[in-house]
Chains A and B, each alone.
Chain A
Amino acid sequence: MFRATLKSLLARKVRLILSGLAVVLGVMFVSGAFVLTDTLGRSFDSVFADGFSEIDVNVAAKPKVEISELEGEQTASPLPAAVVDRVTQVPGVASATGIVNADGARVIGSNGKVVTSFGPPQLGENWTGESDLLQLREGRAPQAEDEIVINRALATTAKVQVGQKVGVLTAFESKKREFTLVGVAGYSGDRDSIGGVNEVFFTTPVAQRLMLGEPDTFSSVTVRAADGVSDEALRDDVARTLGADFEVKTGEQVAADASASLKEGLSFFNKILLGFAAVALLVGTFLILNTFSIIVAQRTRELALMRAIGASGRQIIGSVVLEAIAVGLIASVLGLAAGIGVGALLAFLFGKLAGGLTLAGIGVPAAAVIGSFAVGLVITVVAALLPALRASRIPPIAAMQDVATPDRPLTKVTVAGSLVTGIGAVLLFLGLSGNAGGQTLATILGGVLFAFIGVALLTPLISRPVVSLLGAIFSWSVPGKLGRLNSGRNPRRTAITAAALMVGIALVTGVTVILDSAKGSISALAQDTIKAELVISGQQGGPRPPSFDPGVLDRTKALPGVQLVDGEYGDMARIDGESTWVTASSDIASLRQIFGAKATAGDIDRLGPTQMLASSDTATSRGWSVGSTVNVQLTRGEARTYTVSGIYESTQLTNPVTLPATAAKDFAIPQPIQAFIQLAPGARVADVQPQVETLLADSPEVSVADRDAFIKQQTSQLDGLLTMIQILLALAIVIAVLGIINTLALSVLERTRELGLLRAIGLRRGQTMGMITVEAVVISVFGALLGVAVGTGLGAAVVEALKDEGITDLILPWGQMGVFLGLAAVIGVVAAVLPAVRAARINVLGAIAHD
């Protein structure tokens, strides 16, 4: 029995390859995700281990506000220089060095543009001499106020040479300052950068002033232990001497902590990739289900013969499941291997993008192997279960009857489909209306899954009228008519094939509807509310938003034709112990007028040094009212008490909390990141814009744009997101295309005799191919239609649910939908090529004798 199964598997290997390919692709996604994140994780480990290799014990002040990797770079609060002396006194300390090390040193390249980073920080540091890790490659150390050394990687990207004047923006000065590049540094092992980090070294006083904002302070103290003193013992001694206000860790600990926080981000990324893998596998499941169903149908007589000569129903199930296991196993192995390749490739690309991250060797984590096999096997077997069950119900007498088993009525599937769709709709409703009790995301995802399966079950019923309608377009020719009849011939098969395509297209359409609606709603709101003709802002590339010289604000205000200027600062703060995004405005009255803010309580036109404003939503959720006092800890400085003096009405554009301009000096980035400019009546944008541009000459990170360009730029971030999602979902669509090819190929095989007959009575090769192509196009367009319809439904439901969040306009991407349908037609034609060629090549005589 086992042998018979394997033999029949081998005999039909070609048919199984395509369905196996679907599993391979899905598994590849899974293992690729694991390999990628594992490799990057270990690369980060080694980068940090390296970066902190010169440190035995590290002393830092406790950060005032803890920030997760997803929110941006952590800013350490500076510690006074006296700490260095105190540490030096501790017995067992060989040396203690005060280190300035902060993000935000941005070098202006020879092309006048700021060198940006896509992730690794751009550190500004004090030069503390060469070490085993860090050496000068060229030139000398910085000695004067206006001298710097940068690392080789940065020198290469900025295209600057020793001896040249180089402009630098620093954490406390977003106005260009010129330095002379006196040296270029590199790292042990002939590396130009560690993990893509850009480093700028100043003299200590300059670094303190520009990177920390205060003289005589350091970011940390690095300690080298005397011979024979263990790092751990020294750490404990230092910690005891300094007291509880400091974080004292061994170098290893620091490295591990730094790496761990990055890995947190990676695991989030991993989950996203696995989510897309799940979509691909869902589509793959449809495909496998279909393939096995068709194979079982084609083998009816064979299976019946087996039953006639004594095979039990269970043995038949066993044989089909065994086949599935074999396919699943092979596909898992191939998928795992392909995933390792893809993971390695992506890691390589990521390393390049992150500015030369040295990759640790590609490893295959156990999770990748287990995940691949579990997913590959389970999916294949589950998908084959239904066909297996059907196979076991084939009566032995079918071996003697020529008649194919009649198509069973669709009542059962339709009832099941309605039920499952209903469950999906209920789950979606619960999830979207926020009644899912803490399981919102899971409920929504479950709802989407049920909706997909439900619609897939309903598809056979829908397919009859829709397919015959679609096919009518082609009915003018005989092959077209035959193709149309063929696609309506087996509604289940057509339906599952189309449903596989539906999933991918529905998700893309849904996401497009949501993002377009969000974009449209926000743009409309911005158009209506922002009464500023010009906006200063920059494109954020890495974790740090672009900023500019605050002096520009006053100078802009003084320009003729400018009426109001509102410069905005932002920071992640802790308010009463909770992380909250806070902003400060350079001119609170201008802010109010430009945004047309409405007060719901108190006075929002002015703000004293210890007063703050809150949006109505924030006030409600935090239980604040005018007169409430709150404790605010900014990134720098001591915690302060503010009194809520006014509350403004929340809109999509309002910030939760607004602090007085004086607070901005304690923000992580103490420079404005945006400014809104309102012109005086009669002043012309074309006149004012060039003047503001001139003012921004020394702030190359930002530019001034008119309002429409600004709104477009802001919403264009959503476009990037959309493109990314589309690329990831494309895989699901590719698998669906495989499904169409597979179904057609199997149908052609099944109809060999009939095709031979058609050819015998005079159907030309070209006509045969046309017939197959029409069938493919009808199926794929049907799938796309379903996808667009389901996706629009899902998207509209989400948009409806987000009405309160400010997504008020439902925008349907008609153009996109048209593109999808057109694409589906192309997909159909492409998918038909191989099966059509095969059909056209059928040997007429052989086919008629075919059994």
Chain B
Amino acid sequence: MTATVGQQAQAAARANDVWKVYGSGEAQVIALRGVSAEFERGRFTAIMGPSGSGKSTLMHCLAGLDSVTRGTVSIGETTVTGLGDGGLTKLRRDKVGFIFQQFNLLPTLTAKENILLPLSIAGRKPDPAWYDTVIDTVGLRDRLDHRPAQLSGGQQQRVACARALVSRPEVIFADEPTGNLDSRSGAEVLGFLRNSVREHGQTIVMVTHDPTAAAYADRVVFLADGQIVSELIEPTADTVLDTMKKLDTPAEVGN
């Protein structure tokens, strides 16, 4: 099944018949089996699915962090598949932002330095107006000189979000960004992500386990056993939960 929603918007990221096989022989694991998907610009897409269904793998492949076994991946105009290290580095610098579940920040740098790190690595100056907007949106102005260890988990994730946003990448990939947070901090981070999509046209692809989190997205793509099996537009927590339940009983998926 191919996700084909939102053809009017141009795709920020695209997977075309992507296969990912780990190992060989006995130990062979097929993590992705011919996944094709488009992630439209200016939208917030969630990827869901049971544990081991290949969500993280798909995201890593989309972001150029991992290579695909077959098929192609592209970000904006750039075809990721086949890029060398130099090309991938440039891609990560200019077009992609990341938010991980944990270990997002360098412990030795302050929040501000962490936020500006991608820009300083690329040797670019931040756009001051945009920087101020980002800082205000994440509400971290009074915490900028703190080190990660002095921040709560939620604050750390907000710093990570700010870092991803500040360079205005084509697409931000987030792998369970709220997985380590309580529901209130999680809601803060998710609300913030949604705002950046609504107000600033940011594209975000997020992997999550949590139906409530998925409800913040514009669209949810469901993975099972390495394949896209279903999707929801304008999801609510309830519709997501329903779909998840169906996935747990494979007979009802019916395709």
Chain A residues engaging chain B, CB cutoff 8 angstroms: 1, 3-4, 7-8, 10-11, 301-302, 305-313, 315, 395-397, 399-400, 851
- Known contacts A301-B103, A399-B100, A400-B175; A4/B66 CB under 8 A: no
* Interface contact B60-A4, CB-CB below 8 Å: no
Using Cβ atoms and an 8 Å threshold, which residues of chain B touch A312? 85-86, 89
* Interface contact B65-A11, CB-CB below 8 Å: no
Using Cβ atoms and an 8 Å threshold, which residues of chain A touch B104? 305
Cβ contacts A to B, 14 pairs, < 8 Å: A1-B121, A3-B113, A4-B106, A4-B113, A8-B106, A302-B106, A309-B117, A309-B118, A309-B163, A310-B94, A315-B121, A396-B65, A399-B103, A851-B102
* Interface contact A7-B113, CB-CB below 8 Å: yes
Q: Report the bound CA distance from A606 to B163 in whole Å.
A: 100
Using Cβ atoms and an 8 Å threshold, which residues of chain B touch A3? 113, 120
B109 CB within 8 Å of chain A: yes
Min CB distance B186 to A, Å, is 19
- B66, B86, B92, B101: the one contacting A309 at CB < 8 Å is B92
Q: Which of B94, B101, B103, B108 has most A Cβ within 10 Å?
A: B108
Using Cβ atoms and an 8 Å threshold, which residues of chain B touch A851? 102-103, 107
* Interface contact A308-B121, CB-CB below 8 Å: no
* Interface contact B106-A310, CB-CB below 8 Å: no
Q: Report the bound CA distance from A516 to B80 in whole Å.
A: 68
B residues 106-155 with Cβ under 8 Å of A? Answer: 106-109, 113, 117-118, 120-123
B33 CB within 8 Å of chain A: no
| Residue-wise interface mask of B (52-74) relative to A, using a CB-CB cutoff of 8 A (1 in contact, 0 not) | 00001000100001100000000
* Interface contact B89-A313, CB-CB below 8 Å: yes
Min CB distance B66 to A, Å, is 6
* Interface contact B120-A305, CB-CB below 8 Å: no
Min CB distance A438 to B, Å, is 48
- Known contacts A4-B113, A310-B89, A311-B121; A397/B60 CB under 8 A: yes
B168 CB within 8 Å of chain A: no
Using Cβ atoms and an 8 Å threshold, which residues of chain B touch A396? 65, 92
* Interface contact A397-B66, CB-CB below 8 Å: yes
Using Cβ atoms and an 8 Å threshold, which residues of chain B touch A309? 92-93, 97-98, 117-118, 121, 163
Using Cβ atoms and an 8 Å threshold, which residues of chain A touch B97? 309
* Interface contact B121-A400, CB-CB below 8 Å: no
Using Cβ atoms and an 8 Å threshold, which residues of chain A touch B92? 307-310, 396
Using Cβ atoms and an 8 Å threshold, which residues of chain A touch B108? 4, 7-8, 10-11
Min CB distance B235 to A, Å, is 26
* Interface contact A4-B120, CB-CB below 8 Å: yes
Q: Report the bound CA distance from A311 to B109 in whole Å.
A: 16
A-B complex: 7 closest residue pairs judged by Cβ atoms:
A310-B93, A11-B108, A312-B89, A309-B118, A310-B92, A397-B65, A311-B121
Q: Report the bound CA distance from A307 to B85 in whole Å.
A: 10
- B86, B89, B106: the one contacting A305 at CB < 8 Å is B106
Using Cβ atoms and an 8 Å threshold, which residues of chain B touch A397? 60, 65-66
* Interface contact B113-A311, CB-CB below 8 Å: no
Q: Report the bound CA distance from A817 to B26 in whole Å.
A: 52
- Known contacts A4-B113, A7-B108; A310/B121 CB under 8 A: yes
Q: Report the bound CA distance from A309 to B64 in whole Å.
A: 12
B residues 11-70 with Cβ under 8 Å of A? Answer: 56, 60, 65-66
* Interface contact B100-A400, CB-CB below 8 Å: yes
- A1, A8, A301: the one contacting B120 at CB < 8 Å is A1
Q: Report the bound CA distance from A315 to B89 in whole Å.
A: 11
Q: Report the bound CA distance from A616 to B24 in whole Å.
A: 76
* Interface contact A400-B117, CB-CB below 8 Å: no
Q: Report the bound CA distance from A396 to B97 in whole Å.
A: 13
Q: Report the bound CA distance from A7 to B60 in whole Å.
A: 29
Q: Report the bound CA distance from A3 to B86 in whole Å.
A: 23
Known: A4-B109, A302-B107. 10 other contacts (CB 8 A): A305-B103, A306-B106, A306-B117, A309-B118, A310-B92, A312-B85, A312-B89, A313-B89, A397-B60, A399-B103
* Interface contact B98-A308, CB-CB below 8 Å: yes
